[in-house]
């Protein structure tokens, strides 16, 4: 029989008990270090089980602080309790990064309330917004009870299209006859309410819950608990959980980042045919994650930004570090000539260098030169395992020319 390329995997030993358990969309049934937040939210939503209107809430915190996981967990318990108590309570969670216009959020909520005997879905587009809104109210009243509307990543939608949706949803109760509604907004941006109309702000901010970033020890507990279900026993080597937690704690205490590190480390170990995950696998996993995040940033830079980054790299290929804006500009101008483009002014390039600094691709430190004034010292800060020239060449053909051409370097200007 012909050999099959998959055969080798069948006999390969796996380190995972259930890999899904280590992914971020998995909903764990325990959430260590979030008891307080769970208590605050569930105490408020307890009103819904009694048939009253809970306060509207805003949940804030950095990404990976467990906001989505905690809310989904509480809503899950709310539903189960509602069913066992015979109270009509429904929660509807909408991710406003994926569903990112007022129309789509309203129609999504409306369509999730469609009774099985009804056929008429609200169309994906085309109705005036107030018609969608009225249809939503009709359906909510028809079903009755209390609705908990969760708008996850609401900061994203508000930044994109403003706060009309929040205005409309937080005034639902004045239009509803039988049903009742409360709104939970979840935001990764701590300053998100600054964008809101004061009326919306006060209606939505009846109860604020701040999710603090996890510290390294808390992340260890989270990882251990998830690892028990996700990995086989005894496969985690000494210091691995601690290292994953420490690295993620540096990265603003992001549990998602900690889980990714652990999962990818275990994948690396498994691929190498090892029986245990060690700290080296974690380091390799970390540099892969870094590369995965940085690659799209580099490849999607606008052309002029790519040229400026190329100019910094070309200087460095020639052994020049701590270069000044003038040296970058000089190489940039030569590069433009090679690909027959008109160069921008040095002033504009200085702005583009600051952009690259903000994106974490270069560091531009301002240093004082005594009586010669101040100047910048510019260095790339792209990790060694990322081949920025190749990424730029793959994204834009002309960049191949830029990196192939000969340059005249001035050591100082
Ligand atoms: N306390 C916790 N215990 C277990 N897993 C957690 C905990 N907090 C967060 N997670 C996990 O970390 C990942 C990111 O959490 P998430 O709720 O999506 O964060 P946020 O919504 O604040 O960005 C998810 O996979 C989630 O299951
Ligand atoms: Mg979230």
Rama region for 247: left / alpha / beta (φ>0; ψ in -120 to 50; rest): alpha
Give the confidence band of 230 by pLDDT, cuts at 50, 70, 90.
Answer: very high
* pLDDT at residue 172 greater than cutoff 70: yes
Q: What's the mean pLDDT in 368-389?
A: 84
Flag whether pLDDT at 373 surpasses 80. no
Question: What is the structure's pLDDT at 3?
Answer: 86
Domain presence at residue 188: yes
Q: Which ligand is nearest the CA of 152, by number?
A: 2
Dihedral sign for Cα 387, 388, 393, 394, please.
positive
Based on the fold, state whether residues 328 and 184 are members of the same structural domain: no
The answer on pLDDT for 140 being more than 80 is: yes
Q: Note whether residue 412 is domain-resident.
A: no
Q: Is the CB of 212 under 6 A from ligand 1?
A: no
- Asked, for residue 118, whether it belongs to a domain, the answer is yes
CA distance 377 to 367: 7
Least confidently predicted of 115-119, 162-166, 173-177, 233-237: 115-119
- Our CA angle for 84, 49, 168, nearest 5°, is 130
Domains in the chain, number: 3
Asked if pLDDT for residue 119 goes beyond 70, the answer is: no
For residue 185, give the H/E element and its range.
strand 180-187
**Alpha carbon of 300 to those of 108, 119, 294: distances in Å?**
32, 43, 10
63 lines ligand 1 (CB under 6 A): yes
| Residue 58 Cα to ligand 1 middle (Å) | 17
| 363 closest CA partner among 379, 374, 384 | 379
Mean pLDDT of 324-350: 94
| Alpha-carbon gap, residue 19 to 23, rounded angstroms | 7
pLDDT for the residue numbered 97: 93
Of 123, 74, 115, 71, which Cα lies nearest the Cα of 94? 71
- For residue 274, the enclosing domain spans 214-297
In this structure, the chain runs to a length of: 413
Higher pLDDT, 6 or 47: 47
Distance CA 227, CA 262 (A): 8
Helix (H, G, I), strand (E, B) or coil at 273: coil
Q: Which of 185, 211, 237 is the last residue before a domain boundary?
A: 211
33 lines ligand 1 (CB under 6 A): yes
Q: With contact defined as beta carbons under 8 Å apart, do 145 and 90 qualify? A: yes
Domain final residue, candidates 211, 237, 271: 211
Q: Which atom of ligand 1 is nearest to the CA of 258?
A: 12
Q: Strand, helix or coil at 179? A: coil
Query: By the 8 A CB rule, do 218 and 66 touch?
Result: no
More reliable by pLDDT, 273 or 220? 220
For the Cβ of 259 lying below 6 angstroms from any atom of ligand 1, the answer is: yes
Q: What is the pLDDT of residues 28-81, one digit of tens each?
A: 889 999 999 999 999 999 999 999 999 999 999 999 999 999 999 999 999 999
Identify whether the C-beta of residue 64 lies closer than 8 Å to the C-beta of residue 256: yes
> 240 lies in a domain?
yes
More confident residue, 60 or 195: 60
Q: Is the CB of 222 under 6 A from ligand 1?
A: yes
Q: Are residues 119 and 156 in the same domain?
A: yes
What is the structure's pLDDT at 116? 66
Query: Do residues 358 and 253 both lie within one domain?
Result: no
Q: What is the mean pLDDT of residues 95-108?
A: 94
Q: What does the pLDDT read at residue 191?
A: 86
- What does pTM read for this prediction? 0.83
Q: Which ligand is nearest to the CA of 230?
A: 1
How many angstroms separate the CA atoms of 60 and 52, rounded?
Answer: 24
User: For residue 382, what is the domain's CATH number?
Assistant: 1.10.10.10
Q: Of the residues 66, 156, 253, which should be mutated to test ligand 1's pocket, given the most ligand atoms within 8 Å of the CB?
A: 66
Cα separation, 4 vs 24, in Å, equals 32
Average pLDDT of the chain to the nearest whole number = 92
Residue 26 lies in a domain: no
pLDDT in tens, 236-290: 999 999 999 999 999 889 999 999 999 999 999 999 999 999 999 999 999 999 8
What percent of the chain clears pLDDT 90, i.e. is strictly above it?
A: 78
**291 and 307 assigned to the same domain:** no
pLDDT score for 411: 60
The number of beta carbons lying within 10 Å of the beta carbon of residue 339 is: 16
In ligand 1, which atom is closest to the CA atom of 255? 12
Between CA 186 and CA 361 the distance in angstroms is 30
> If you average pLDDT over residues 383-399, what whole number do you get?
92
- Mean pLDDT of the region 176-198: 92
Look at ligand 1, atom 24, and give the residue with the nearest C-alpha.
24
57: tokens are: 């809430």
**Which pairing describes strands 362-368 and 146-152: parallel, antiparallel, or unpaired?**
unpaired
Coil vs helix vs strand at 121: coil
Q: Which of 194, 211, 228 is the last residue of a domain?
A: 211
pLDDT at 409: 83
Residue 330: is its pLDDT beyond 90?
A: yes
Question: Is residue 88 located within the same domain as residue 119?
Answer: yes
At residue 256, the pLDDT reads 94
Q: Please work out whether the CB of residue 150 comes within 6 Å of at least one atom of ligand 1.
A: no
**pLDDT at residue 5, rounded to an integer:** 85
* 1 is a domain residue: no
- The residue among 340, 355, 342, 366 whose CA lies nearest residue 308 is 355
Residue whose pair of structure tokens reads 């990818």 in the numeric block: 264
Give the residue among 378, 375, 376, 405 at the shortest CA–CA distance from 389: 405
Judge contact between 140 and 176, C-beta under 8 A: yes
| Residues 314 and 289 grouped into a single domain | no
Do both 157 and 137 map to the same domain?
A: yes
């Amino acid at each position: 029989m012909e050999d099959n390329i998959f055969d080798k995997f069948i006999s390969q030993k796996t380190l995972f008990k259930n890999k899904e358990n280590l992914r971020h969309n998995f909903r764990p049934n325990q959430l260590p270090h979030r008891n307080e937040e769970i208590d605050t939210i569930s105490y408020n939503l307890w009103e819904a089980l009694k048939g009253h209107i809970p306060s509207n809430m805003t949940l804030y915190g950095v990404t990976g602080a467990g906001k989505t996981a905690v809310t989904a967990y509480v809503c899950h318990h709310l539903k189960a309790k509602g069913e066992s108590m015979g109270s009509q309570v429904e929660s509807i969670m909408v991710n406003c990064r994926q569903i990112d216009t007022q129309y789509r959020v309203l129609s999504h909520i409306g369509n999730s309330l469609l009774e099985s005997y009804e056929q008429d879905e609200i169309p994906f587009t085309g109705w005036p917004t107030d018609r969608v809104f009225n249809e939503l109210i009709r359906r909510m009243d028809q079903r009755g009870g209390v609705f908990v509307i969760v708008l996850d990543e609401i900061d994203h939608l508000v930044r994109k299209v403003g706060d009309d949706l929040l205005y409309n949803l937080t005034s639902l109760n004045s239009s509803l006859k039988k049903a009742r509604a409360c709104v939970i907004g979840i935001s990764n941006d701590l300053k998100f309410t600054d964008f809101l109309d004061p009326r919306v702000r006060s209606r939505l901010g009846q109860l604020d819950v701040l999710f603090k970033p996890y510290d390294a020890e808390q992340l260890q507990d989270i990882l251990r608990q998830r690892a028990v279900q996700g990995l086989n026993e005894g496969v985690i080597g000494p210091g691995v959980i601690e290292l994953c937690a420490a690295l993620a704690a540096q990265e603003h205490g992001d549990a998602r980042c900690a889980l990714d590190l652990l999962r990818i480390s275990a994948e690396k170990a498994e691929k190498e045919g090892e029986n245990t995950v060690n700290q080296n696998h974690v380091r390799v996993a970390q540099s892969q994650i870094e590369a995965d995040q940085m690659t799209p940033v580099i490849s999607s830079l606008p052309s002029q930004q790519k040229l400026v980054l190329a100019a910094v790299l070309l200087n460095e290929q020639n052994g020049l570090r701590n270069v000044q804006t003038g040296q970058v500009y000089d190489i940039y101008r030569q590069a433009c000539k090679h690909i027959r483009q008109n160069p921008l002014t040095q002033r504009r390039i200085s702005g583009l260098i600051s952009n690259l600094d903000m994106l974490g691709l270069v560091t531009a430190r301002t240093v004082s030169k005594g009586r010669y004034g101040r100047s910048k010292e510019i260095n790339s800060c792209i990790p060694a395992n990322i081949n920025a020239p190749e990424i730029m060449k793959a994204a834009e053909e002309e960049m191949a020319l830029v990196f192939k051409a000969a340059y005249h370097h001035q050591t100082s200007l």
